Amino acid sequence: MYEAAFMKRFFFSITRLLLAALLATLPWLSNTATASPGKADTWTDVVRAAPYWSSQGVYRNVLTVRSWVLNESSYCTHQNRHIFYDMRGQFLGWSEDADTVEANQQQLNNTRQEMFKDGRSSAWAVGAADVTGYPFALACDQPHVDLPGSIARYLGLKEEDRLWGAWDDIKVGGQGDSVSLHKTLMAVYKKRNSQQRLSELPPALPRYLAGQLLIESGAQTRAHSTANARGIMQLSPAALSDCRISPKNYWHRLAQMDCALQLSNQNARNLRPAFTDRFGELPAQKRDELFSLLLVQAYHGGAGRVKSLLQDELLSRPAEYFARHQAQYSAGDIAFGMIFHNLGRDRFGLSSLYYVADVQLATEALCESPKLKNSEFCQWK
């Protein structure tokens, strides 16, 4: 009798241990328990049901889709289209735009439903003019995007896009000897770095800052957003004031670069402890790349929100998972996954993903230009 009871308890204990071990190898189950395919009430329901492992490869997938938009290539050679992608950034199909906004929105939703019916998507959600639908849709028509023109201005291919002058203790060019925005950015960075005022920045940051300049303003001096951000780095009056720049110099290109570097260094200082606590065990190269991408995100949405992705009890759950399983994901996958699985929370939206993707694409395009392709600036490793 005793032996039978003992064997029963032993068998139960072994079974429980095996089940626990199995669940430990499938950590994504914790955020998919309520997942159910089909029509979702909202797009965020699809996000919440997405397993963390679905972020594997998402970075390059989204870069591919966004590159078609920025470069007007592939399925976006015809601008009157929308292209669709899923939660892994995988391209699903496209639809021609209808003649009116209302008809086009109905067509987008019909296409979403058809993609679910024919098995291309495991779920779908209705979208509206001010509501995201699923599968996600991107308009090929992006009139504000002119990457080749932005790169030409940044490299100073025309005299009108070059500059000379001084800011604080920094001087570039001279009368009759104007220089490009690229040379100006490098001069500002080298000066401040030699003064040990940028000690928190990872080595790749200047490249990304150049990409940010292209995306933020298209390298146009008088760029001015509806949110009152201005200049080549699209800085707010509050940020410019924090850098002790007077209103008369808000548009000053050297001042804007100096301020952007200063703010990025400050963001890096604020994020470094939380980042090290979470991702300090990553290989050095991956760690630096991930930190650079999070700094790009911090420039776009604020260091406080990025810090919450590392420390907040709820928002840090994806980061916790990716830190444990980092070998299976690229730095880009981790950066995107941390945001994607929190979409709809703390003002994180698809624009947060698009911004980092666009900066990456702009940086890569810049480093494909003949002037910079073989330069030290574009050495990725």
Provide the pLDDT confidence category of residue 259 given band limits of 50, 70 and 90.
Answer: very high
The pLDDT score that the predictor gives to residue 30 is: 41
Q: Which residue from 97, 133, 96 is spatially nearest to 116, judged by alpha carbons?
A: 133
Provide the pLDDT confidence category of residue 218 given band limits of 50, 70 and 90.
Answer: very high
Note the pLDDT tens digit of each residue in 80-122.
999 999 999 999 999 999 999 999 999 999 999 999 999 999 9
Least confident of 154-168, 215-229, 319-333: 215-229
In whole angstroms, what separates CA 39 from the centre of its chain?
Answer: 28
The pLDDT score that the predictor gives to residue 331 is: 98
pTM for this prediction: 0.88
SS3 for the chain, per residue? CHHHHHHHHHHHHHHHHHHHHHHHHCHHHHHCCCCCCEECCCHHHHHHHCCHHHHCCHHHHHHHHHHHHHHCCHHHCCCCEEEEECCCCCEEEEEECCCCHHHHHHHHHHHHHHHHHCCCCCEEECCECCECCECEEEECCCCCCCHHHHHHHHCCCCHHHCECEEECCEEECECCECECHHHHHHHHHHHHHHCCCCCCCCCCHHHHHHHHHHHHHCCCCCCECCCCCECCCCECHHHHHHCCCCHHHCCCHHHHHHHHHHHHHHHHHHHHHHHHHHHCCCCHHHHHHHHHHHHHHHHHHCHHHHHHHHHCCCCCHHHHHHHHCHHHCCHHHHHHHHHHCCCCCCCCCHHHHHHHHHHHHHHHHHCCCCCCCCCHHHCCC
**Percent of the chain having pLDDT more than 70?**
90
The pLDDT score that the predictor gives to residue 380 is: 63
The pLDDT score that the predictor gives to residue 146 is: 87
Is 80 exceeded by the pLDDT of residue 28?
A: no
The pLDDT score that the predictor gives to residue 37 is: 52
The pLDDT score that the predictor gives to residue 40 is: 84
The pLDDT score that the predictor gives to residue 303 is: 96
Say how far apart CA 220 and CA 187 lie, in whole Å.
Answer: 19
Provide the pLDDT confidence category of residue 129 given band limits of 50, 70 and 90.
Answer: confident
Bigger pLDDT: 198 or 8?
198
The pLDDT score that the predictor gives to residue 144 is: 75
- Average pLDDT of the residues in 349-353: 92
The pLDDT score that the predictor gives to residue 22 is: 39
| CB atoms near residue 216 (< 10 Å) | 27
**Percent of the chain having pLDDT more than 90?**
83
- Average pLDDT of the residues in 32-51: 76
Is 60 exceeded by the pLDDT of residue 14?
A: no
The pLDDT score that the predictor gives to residue 225 is: 87
- Average pLDDT of the residues in 30-38: 46
The pLDDT score that the predictor gives to residue 5 is: 42
Please name the CATH architecture into which domain 147-378 falls.
Answer: Orthogonal Bundle (1.10)
Is 90 exceeded by the pLDDT of residue 286?
A: yes
- Domain ranges, ordered by start, for the chain: 38-139, 147-378
The pLDDT score that the predictor gives to residue 98 is: 95
